[in-house]
Amino acid sequence: MKQFLVFVRKEFLHAFRDRKTLLIMFGLPIVQIILFGFALTNEVKNSKLVIVDPSRDEASQALTNRIRSSKYFDIYREAMSYAEMEAAFRSGKIKAAIVFPQDFNEQWKHLNNVQLQLITDGSDPNTGRTIQNYLTAIINDFRNDRVNNGNAQVLIHPNIRMLYNPSLEGTMNFVPGVMALVLLLVCTTLTAVSIVRERELGTMEILLVSPFKPVYVLLSKAVPYFILSMVNLSVILLLGTYVLNVPVKGSVSLLLLASALFILTCLSMGLLISTLAKTQQTAMIISMMGMMLPTVLLTGFMFPIENMPVPLQVISNIVPSRWYYLITKDVMLKGLGFSAIWKELLVLGGMTVFLLLFSLKKFNNRLS
């Protein structure tokens, strides 16, 4: 037991004295979370727009105020000419523009056909379309309110709401995805590399000759990375809650428990890779490159699995992060309990046992 503790301490020393390890361990998740959370987001928040309003009457002002009060739009300027609006588009300062007709209020009162021009920046079609939808929704809302107040007629207006992510916030799905991706990459890579390093440096020869059992070598390698990964997970969760506003809706302890299981799966995957790779570089490439692509593609957070060709759907079943992603989505975003995720937990547990047994069997107590 004392040997085990000393070994674990040694692994911590390795981890803390190697800047590269620390950078991978804690830099990667923070960068990923921030990248996915902010830079790669496809949601529209605080988009700047201009209002061209030659009429400046009661109705146009009311609509302008309503847009202004929405958190999705900031009014960059008002009452500009066409030319000014175009210049603002060109310089990229604004994403959209609303052009009122000369006699907006008159049209509103006397015609049943009100004209309004809505212009968006098409150079980023996805964002453009989203902004268009948002603005249309605001305008429709506005029209309905007005019509209702005048009691002219009751219009049936479909009230569309997206469950779990009412404002289609992209970051919500990204947080569980990044958690799955980062934990898988970090745990697998670090475990694999740390074992292969012993072999490459020749220290494994001494470890094997010592009375310390090879199985314990593997276990004591896994413990520090398990603990560091749990710390890592907490960092991601805190970042998610306080920086990206994606709190854990369900039970935090259930999420931590499921994550612990997933980390174990990844660690045993790292063990397996370490028994296959001869050099640290190979181990790094297998675990970084070999894991990165399937994880990103087949986990489901970038591309929905249901839309994939059947063979890929089948393959995605053996990607552990796919199951973990389902668990985190259920617990974090939907606030579901154990009954909703026990199947996924079972799959992860099975994978862990299989990987562990397989790599222990492959781990030689001699030099091959």
Partner 1 sequence: MISLVNISKTFNRGALKALSGISLEAKSGELFGLIGPDGAGKTTLFRILTTLMLPDSGDALINGLDIKKDVTTIRSKLGYMPGRFSLYQDLTVDENLKFFATLFGTTVRENYAQIRDIYIQLEPFKNRRAGKLSGGMKQKLALCCALIHRPDILLLDEPTTGVDAISRKEFWEMLARLKADGITIMVSTPYMDEANLCDTIALIDQGRILSIDTPGNIVRNYPRPLYAFKAKNLYRLQQDLRLHENIHSCFAFGEYLHVSFRDESAVSLPVMAKWLEENGHQEIILKNQTPVIEDCFIDLLKH
In the complex, the residues that contact partner 1 under the rule CB under 8 A are 2-3, 6-7, 10, 13-14, 17-18, 201-203, 205-212, 365-367
| Closest distance of CB 204 from partner 1, Å | 8
The Cα 48–Cα 198 span in angstroms is 56
**Which of 3/136 has CB closer to partner 1?**
3
Longest dimension (CA), the chain: 95
The Cα 118–Cα 130 span in angstroms is 13
| Closest distance of CB 261 from partner 1, Å | 30
**Which of 9/157 has CB closer to partner 1?**
9
Residues in the chain, total: 368
Q: Which two tokens stand for residue 110?
A: 């006397």
**Which of 203/313 has CB closer to partner 1?**
203
Report the relative pairing of strands 73-78 and 47-52 from DSSP bridges: parallel
**Which of 14/48 has CB closer to partner 1?**
14
| Closest distance of CB 225 from partner 1, Å | 16
- Residue 322 near residue 305 (C-beta atoms within 8 A): yes
| Closest distance of CB 6 from partner 1, Å | 4
DSSP H/E element including 51: strand 47-52
Q: Which two tokens stand for residue 72?
A: 């999705």
**Which of 11/344 has CB closer to partner 1?**
11
Q: Is 227 exposed, middle or buried (0-12, 13-18, 19+ CB in 10 A)?
A: middle
- Residue 126 near residue 43 (C-beta atoms within 8 A): no
**Which of 20/161 has CB closer to partner 1?**
20
- Residue 27 near residue 236 (C-beta atoms within 8 A): no
Beta-bridge partner residues of 351? none
**Which of 13/238 has CB closer to partner 1?**
13
**Which of 101/214 has CB closer to partner 1?**
214
**Which of 21/321 has CB closer to partner 1?**
21
| Closest distance of CB 277 from partner 1, Å | 19
Q: Work out the number of other CB atoms within 10 angstroms of the CB of residue 46.
A: 9
| Closest distance of CB 19 from partner 1, Å | 11
| Closest distance of CB 205 from partner 1, Å | 5
Start-end of H helices in the chain: 2-17, 19-22, 28-34, 58-69, 82-90, 104-110, 125-149, 170-201, 203-209, 214-238, 252-276, 280-298, 310-316, 320-328, 338-362
- Residue 133 near residue 162 (C-beta atoms within 8 A): no
Q: Which two tokens stand for residue 283?
A: 């181990």
| Closest distance of CB 318 from partner 1, Å | 33
| Closest distance of CB 24 from partner 1, Å | 16
**Which of 58/205 has CB closer to partner 1?**
205
The Cα 301–Cα 72 span in angstroms is 24
Q: Work out the number of other CB atoms within 10 angstroms of the CB of residue 352.
A: 20
| Closest distance of CB 322 from partner 1, Å | 36
> CA-based angle 298:284:344, to the nearest 5?
35
Q: Work out the number of other CB atoms within 10 angstroms of the CB of residue 182.
A: 26
